[in-house]
Protein backbone atom coordinates (compact mmCIF):
# COMPACT_ATOMS: atom_id res chain seq x y z
CA UNK A 1 0.00 0.00 0.00
CA UNK A 2 1.58 3.31 -1.01
CA UNK A 3 1.36 6.36 1.25
CA UNK A 4 -0.52 8.75 -1.10
CA UNK A 5 -4.28 8.42 -0.73
CA UNK A 6 -6.31 7.59 -3.80
CA UNK A 7 -9.22 9.49 -2.29
CA UNK A 8 -9.26 12.38 0.16
CA UNK A 9 -12.54 13.84 1.38
CA UNK A 10 -12.34 16.96 3.53
CA UNK A 11 -15.20 18.38 5.55
CA UNK A 12 -17.93 17.90 2.96
CA UNK A 13 -21.40 19.22 3.70
CA UNK A 14 -24.36 18.23 1.50
CA UNK A 15 -27.92 19.47 1.41
CA UNK A 16 -30.85 18.02 -0.54
CA UNK A 17 -33.35 20.35 -2.23
CA UNK A 18 -31.53 23.32 -0.68
CA UNK A 19 -32.93 22.62 2.78
CA UNK A 20 -32.39 19.05 4.01
CA UNK A 21 -28.90 18.67 5.48
CA UNK A 22 -27.58 15.16 4.87
CA UNK A 23 -23.81 15.49 5.50
CA UNK A 24 -22.38 17.90 8.05
CA UNK A 25 -18.63 17.99 7.55
CA UNK A 26 -17.55 14.46 6.61
CA UNK A 27 -13.83 13.75 6.18
CA UNK A 28 -12.28 10.46 5.20
CA UNK A 29 -9.27 9.00 3.44
CA UNK A 30 -8.88 5.94 1.24
CA UNK A 31 -5.19 5.03 1.00
CA UNK A 32 -4.15 3.72 -2.39
CA UNK A 33 -4.70 -0.04 -2.47
CA UNK A 34 -6.92 -0.10 0.64
CA UNK A 35 -10.40 -1.32 1.49
CA UNK A 36 -12.11 1.26 3.69
CA UNK A 37 -15.52 0.68 5.30
CA UNK A 38 -18.12 3.40 5.70
CA UNK A 39 -20.52 2.19 8.38
CA UNK A 40 -23.79 3.42 9.83
CA UNK A 41 -27.49 2.77 10.14
CA UNK A 42 -30.36 3.76 7.87
CA UNK A 43 -30.16 7.37 6.80
CA UNK A 44 -26.74 7.98 8.36
CA UNK A 45 -25.42 9.41 5.09
CA UNK A 46 -23.44 6.56 3.53
CA UNK A 47 -25.08 6.67 0.10
CA UNK A 48 -24.99 10.45 0.07
CA UNK A 49 -21.24 10.34 0.75
CA UNK A 50 -20.63 7.93 -2.14
CA UNK A 51 -22.85 9.85 -4.55
CA UNK A 52 -21.16 13.11 -3.64
CA UNK A 53 -17.75 11.63 -4.40
CA UNK A 54 -18.96 10.29 -7.77
CA UNK A 55 -20.79 13.58 -8.53
CA UNK A 56 -24.10 11.76 -8.93
CA UNK A 57 -25.62 13.72 -6.07
CA UNK A 58 -26.67 16.52 -8.42
CA UNK A 59 -29.09 14.16 -10.17
CA UNK A 60 -30.88 13.85 -6.81
CA UNK A 61 -31.12 17.59 -6.23
CA UNK A 62 -28.30 17.33 -3.77
CA UNK A 63 -25.69 20.07 -3.45
CA UNK A 64 -22.19 20.06 -2.04
CA UNK A 65 -22.24 23.27 -0.01
CA UNK A 66 -18.72 23.12 1.40
CA UNK A 67 -15.64 20.93 1.56
CA UNK A 68 -13.21 19.39 -0.91
CA UNK A 69 -12.73 16.03 -2.60
CA UNK A 70 -9.49 14.93 -4.27
CA UNK A 71 -8.94 11.80 -6.35
CA UNK A 72 -5.32 10.81 -6.94
CA UNK A 73 -4.37 14.25 -5.66
CA UNK A 74 -6.57 16.20 -8.11
CA UNK A 75 -9.64 18.16 -7.01
CA UNK A 76 -12.78 16.50 -8.40
CA UNK A 77 -15.46 18.55 -6.70
CA UNK A 78 -16.74 19.86 -10.05
CA UNK A 79 -16.01 16.80 -12.16
CA UNK A 80 -18.82 15.05 -14.02
CA UNK A 81 -19.54 11.36 -13.34
CA UNK A 82 -18.58 10.28 -16.85
CA UNK A 83 -15.11 11.86 -16.63
CA UNK A 84 -14.60 10.30 -13.21
CA UNK A 85 -15.45 6.87 -14.58
CA UNK A 86 -12.97 7.43 -17.43
CA UNK A 87 -10.38 8.21 -14.79
CA UNK A 88 -11.11 5.00 -12.92
CA UNK A 89 -13.53 6.08 -10.21
CA UNK A 90 -16.79 4.13 -10.42
CA UNK A 91 -19.77 3.51 -8.19
CA UNK A 92 -21.77 0.32 -7.72
CA UNK A 93 -25.24 1.31 -6.57
CA UNK A 94 -27.17 0.03 -3.62
CA UNK A 95 -29.79 -2.48 -4.71
CA UNK A 96 -27.42 -3.87 -7.41
CA UNK A 97 -29.12 -1.97 -10.19
CA UNK A 98 -28.93 -3.94 -13.42
CA UNK A 99 -30.71 -3.43 -16.71
CA UNK A 100 -33.29 -6.16 -16.14
CA UNK A 101 -34.25 -6.49 -19.81
CA UNK A 102 -30.69 -6.88 -21.01
CA UNK A 103 -28.72 -10.10 -20.74
CA UNK A 104 -25.98 -10.55 -18.19
CA UNK A 105 -23.37 -10.11 -20.92
CA UNK A 106 -25.03 -6.99 -22.36
CA UNK A 107 -24.99 -5.47 -18.89
CA UNK A 108 -21.28 -6.21 -18.58
CA UNK A 109 -20.49 -4.79 -22.02
CA UNK A 110 -22.16 -1.52 -21.10
CA UNK A 111 -19.63 -1.06 -18.31
CA UNK A 112 -16.79 -0.84 -20.82
CA UNK A 113 -18.41 2.04 -22.69
CA UNK A 114 -16.44 4.77 -20.93
CA UNK A 115 -13.18 3.30 -22.20
CA UNK A 116 -14.31 2.94 -25.83
CA UNK A 117 -12.21 -0.23 -26.05
CA UNK A 118 -11.16 -2.09 -29.17
CA UNK A 119 -13.16 -5.25 -29.78
CA UNK A 120 -10.31 -7.57 -28.79
CA UNK A 121 -9.77 -5.69 -25.52
CA UNK A 122 -13.48 -5.83 -24.77
CA UNK A 123 -13.58 -9.59 -25.29
CA UNK A 124 -10.48 -10.04 -23.11
CA UNK A 125 -12.03 -7.96 -20.35
CA UNK A 126 -15.23 -9.99 -20.51
CA UNK A 127 -13.21 -13.18 -20.10
CA UNK A 128 -11.43 -11.57 -17.14
CA UNK A 129 -14.79 -10.85 -15.49
CA UNK A 130 -15.97 -14.40 -16.22
CA UNK A 131 -12.79 -15.66 -14.57
CA UNK A 132 -13.71 -13.68 -11.43
CA UNK A 133 -17.40 -14.68 -11.57
CA UNK A 134 -17.66 -18.06 -13.35
CA UNK A 135 -21.38 -18.12 -12.57
CA UNK A 136 -21.88 -15.10 -14.84
CA UNK A 137 -20.38 -16.97 -17.76
CA UNK A 138 -22.92 -19.76 -17.29
CA UNK A 139 -25.70 -17.17 -17.13
CA UNK A 140 -24.37 -14.80 -19.76
CA UNK A 141 -27.35 -15.07 -22.11
CA UNK A 142 -29.95 -14.88 -19.32
CA UNK A 143 -31.83 -11.63 -18.83
CA UNK A 144 -30.37 -9.95 -15.75
CA UNK A 145 -33.88 -9.58 -14.31
CA UNK A 146 -34.20 -13.37 -14.15
CA UNK A 147 -30.99 -13.96 -12.21
CA UNK A 148 -30.70 -14.32 -8.44
CA UNK A 149 -29.91 -11.43 -6.09
CA UNK A 150 -26.34 -12.66 -5.68
CA UNK A 151 -25.87 -12.94 -9.44
CA UNK A 152 -27.23 -9.43 -9.92
CA UNK A 153 -24.74 -8.11 -7.38
CA UNK A 154 -22.01 -9.89 -9.37
CA UNK A 155 -23.31 -8.27 -12.58
CA UNK A 156 -23.30 -4.86 -10.91
CA UNK A 157 -19.72 -5.32 -9.69
CA UNK A 158 -18.64 -6.94 -12.96
CA UNK A 159 -20.07 -4.02 -14.94
CA UNK A 160 -18.08 -1.58 -12.79
CA UNK A 161 -14.93 -3.65 -13.32
CA UNK A 162 -15.34 -3.43 -17.10
CA UNK A 163 -14.37 0.25 -16.71
CA UNK A 164 -11.01 -0.97 -15.29
CA UNK A 165 -11.42 1.10 -12.13
CA UNK A 166 -8.75 2.10 -9.67
CA UNK A 167 -11.34 2.95 -7.00
CA UNK A 168 -14.77 1.37 -6.58
CA UNK A 169 -17.44 2.98 -4.40
CA UNK A 170 -19.48 -0.04 -3.38
CA UNK A 171 -22.85 0.67 -1.77
CA UNK A 172 -24.31 -1.98 0.60
CA UNK A 173 -23.18 -5.09 -1.28
CA UNK A 174 -24.67 -7.34 1.43
CA UNK A 175 -28.17 -5.91 1.24
CA UNK A 176 -30.85 -8.58 0.92
CA UNK A 177 -28.40 -11.42 0.24
CA UNK A 178 -28.01 -14.74 2.07
CA UNK A 179 -24.93 -14.93 4.36
CA UNK A 180 -23.14 -17.41 2.11
CA UNK A 181 -23.60 -15.17 -0.94
CA UNK A 182 -22.46 -12.12 1.05
CA UNK A 183 -19.29 -14.01 2.00
CA UNK A 184 -18.71 -14.85 -1.68
CA UNK A 185 -19.10 -11.20 -2.72
CA UNK A 186 -16.68 -9.99 -0.03
CA UNK A 187 -14.16 -12.68 -0.96
CA UNK A 188 -14.28 -11.32 -4.52
CA UNK A 189 -13.70 -7.79 -3.24
CA UNK A 190 -10.66 -9.07 -1.32
CA UNK A 191 -9.33 -10.86 -4.42
CA UNK A 192 -9.77 -7.80 -6.64
CA UNK A 193 -8.01 -5.70 -4.03
CA UNK A 194 -5.12 -8.13 -3.62
CA UNK A 195 -4.62 -9.27 -7.23
CA UNK A 196 -5.70 -6.25 -9.28
CA UNK A 197 -4.86 -3.51 -6.77
CA UNK A 198 -8.39 -2.06 -6.84
CA UNK A 199 -9.14 0.24 -3.89
CA UNK A 200 -12.61 0.15 -2.31
CA UNK A 201 -14.75 2.51 -0.30
CA UNK A 202 -17.42 0.17 1.00
CA UNK A 203 -20.67 1.49 2.50
CA UNK A 204 -22.26 -1.11 4.74
CA UNK A 205 -24.77 -1.51 7.54
CA UNK A 206 -23.30 -4.95 8.16
CA UNK A 207 -20.26 -3.78 10.10
CA UNK A 208 -19.30 -7.30 11.18
CA UNK A 209 -18.50 -8.45 7.66
CA UNK A 210 -17.24 -5.10 6.34
CA UNK A 211 -14.67 -4.79 9.14
CA UNK A 212 -13.42 -8.32 8.49
CA UNK A 213 -12.37 -7.30 4.99
CA UNK A 214 -11.53 -3.61 5.41
CA UNK A 215 -8.33 -2.27 6.92
CA UNK A 216 -9.94 0.91 8.18
CA UNK A 217 -13.45 2.08 9.02
CA UNK A 218 -15.52 5.20 9.58
CA UNK A 219 -18.84 5.25 11.43
CA UNK A 220 -21.41 7.81 10.30
CA UNK A 221 -24.31 9.01 12.40
CA UNK A 222 -26.69 11.75 11.26
CA UNK A 223 -24.30 12.92 8.57
CA UNK A 224 -21.21 13.09 10.78
CA UNK A 225 -18.24 10.79 11.32
CA UNK A 226 -18.49 9.83 14.99
CA UNK A 227 -15.83 7.14 15.05
CA UNK A 228 -12.92 6.11 12.91
CA UNK A 229 -10.09 3.69 13.31
CA UNK A 230 -8.39 0.51 12.23
CA UNK A 231 -10.86 -2.27 11.52
CA UNK A 232 -9.46 -4.40 14.35
CA UNK A 233 -9.87 -1.53 16.81
CA UNK A 234 -13.45 -0.87 15.73
CA UNK A 235 -14.32 -4.56 15.98
CA UNK A 236 -13.15 -4.51 19.58
CA UNK A 237 -15.34 -1.60 20.67
CA UNK A 238 -18.23 -2.73 22.88
CA UNK A 239 -20.39 0.21 21.87
CA UNK A 240 -19.88 -0.46 18.17
CA UNK A 241 -20.65 -4.11 18.78
CA UNK A 242 -23.92 -3.17 20.51
CA UNK A 243 -24.89 -0.70 17.83
CA UNK A 244 -23.86 -2.33 14.58
CA UNK A 245 -22.69 -5.87 15.15
CA UNK A 246 -25.66 -7.07 17.20
CA UNK A 247 -28.89 -8.45 15.92
CA UNK A 248 -30.89 -5.24 16.21
CA UNK A 249 -31.16 -2.56 13.56
CA UNK A 250 -29.20 0.47 14.71
CA UNK A 251 -31.97 2.73 13.48
CA UNK A 252 -31.83 6.06 11.72
CA UNK A 253 -28.73 8.01 12.51
CA UNK A 254 -28.05 6.65 16.01
CA UNK A 255 -28.30 8.38 19.36
CA UNK A 256 -26.17 11.23 20.71
CA UNK A 257 -25.45 9.22 23.86
CA UNK A 258 -24.02 6.40 21.85
CA UNK A 259 -21.89 8.83 19.82
CA UNK A 260 -20.43 10.26 23.03
CA UNK A 261 -19.56 6.79 24.31
CA UNK A 262 -17.95 5.87 20.96
CA UNK A 263 -15.90 9.06 20.93
CA UNK A 264 -14.87 8.50 24.53
CA UNK A 265 -13.64 4.99 23.77
CA UNK A 266 -11.54 6.23 20.89
CA UNK A 267 -10.59 9.47 22.59
CA UNK A 268 -11.59 11.60 19.59
P1 LIG B 1 -29.50 3.74 3.79
O2 LIG B 1 -28.64 2.62 4.20
O3 LIG B 1 -30.88 3.67 4.35
O4 LIG B 1 -29.47 4.03 2.31
P5 LIG B 1 -27.61 5.91 4.15
O6 LIG B 1 -26.66 5.87 5.29
O7 LIG B 1 -27.08 5.51 2.83
O8 LIG B 1 -28.88 5.04 4.51
P9 LIG B 1 -28.51 8.31 2.87
O10 LIG B 1 -29.34 7.58 1.86
O11 LIG B 1 -27.26 8.94 2.41
O12 LIG B 1 -28.18 7.38 4.11
O13 LIG B 1 -29.44 9.42 3.56
C14 LIG B 1 -28.93 10.45 4.41
C15 LIG B 1 -30.03 11.44 4.69
O16 LIG B 1 -30.37 12.13 3.49
C17 LIG B 1 -31.33 10.79 5.19
O18 LIG B 1 -31.90 11.65 6.14
C19 LIG B 1 -32.17 10.71 3.94
O20 LIG B 1 -33.54 10.76 4.26
C21 LIG B 1 -31.75 11.94 3.18
N22 LIG B 1 -31.86 11.75 1.72
C23 LIG B 1 -31.26 10.79 0.99
N24 LIG B 1 -31.54 10.93 -0.32
C25 LIG B 1 -32.34 12.01 -0.43
C26 LIG B 1 -32.98 12.69 -1.53
N27 LIG B 1 -32.81 12.28 -2.77
N28 LIG B 1 -33.72 13.79 -1.23
C29 LIG B 1 -33.89 14.23 0.04
N30 LIG B 1 -33.29 13.64 1.11
C31 LIG B 1 -32.55 12.55 0.90
For position 261, what pLDDT does the model report?
57
- Best residue among 18, 44, 203 to mutate for probing ligand 1's pocket (most ligand atoms within 8 Å of CB) is 44
- Best residue among 23, 24, 37, 47 to mutate for probing ligand 1's pocket (most ligand atoms within 8 Å of CB) is 47
- Domain assignment present for 137: no
Work out the burial of residue 165: count CB atoms within 10 Å of its CB; fewer than 13 is exposed, 13-18 middle, 19 or more buried: buried
Q: Is the pLDDT of residue 10 over 90?
A: yes
- Domain assignment present for 53: yes
- Domain assignment present for 41: yes
Mean pLDDT score across all residues of the chain: 87
- Domain assignment present for 43: yes
- Domain assignment present for 45: yes
CA of residue 249 to ligand 1 center, whole Å: 16
Print the domain residue range for 211.
5-95+165-266
CATH of the domain at 13: 3.40.50.300
Name the CA dihedral angle for 150, 154, 156, 158, rounded to a multiple of 10 degrees.
Answer: 180
- Domain assignment present for 63: yes
Q: Which residues of 49-65 are buried (b: 16+ CB within 10 A; e: fewer)?
A: bbbbbbbbbeeeebebe
pTM: 0.89
- Domain assignment present for 128: no
Which residue is closest in CA terms to ligand 1's atom 27? Answer: 60
Report d(CA 86, CA 76) in Å as an integer.
13
List pLDDT tens digits, range 217-260.
Answer: 999 999 999 999 999 999 888 767 666 654 344 333 445 555 65
Distance of CA 182 to the CA centre of its chain: 14
- Domain assignment present for 33: yes
CA of residue 42 to ligand 1 center, whole Å: 8
Domain count, the chain: 1
Amino acid sequence: MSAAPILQVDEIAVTYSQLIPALRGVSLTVPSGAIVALLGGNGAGKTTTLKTISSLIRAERGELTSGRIAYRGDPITDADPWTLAERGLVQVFEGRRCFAHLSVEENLRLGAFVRRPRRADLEADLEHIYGIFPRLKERRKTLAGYTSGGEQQMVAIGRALMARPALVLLDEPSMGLAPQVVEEIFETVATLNRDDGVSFLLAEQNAAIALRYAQFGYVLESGRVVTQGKAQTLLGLDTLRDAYLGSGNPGAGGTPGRSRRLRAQLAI
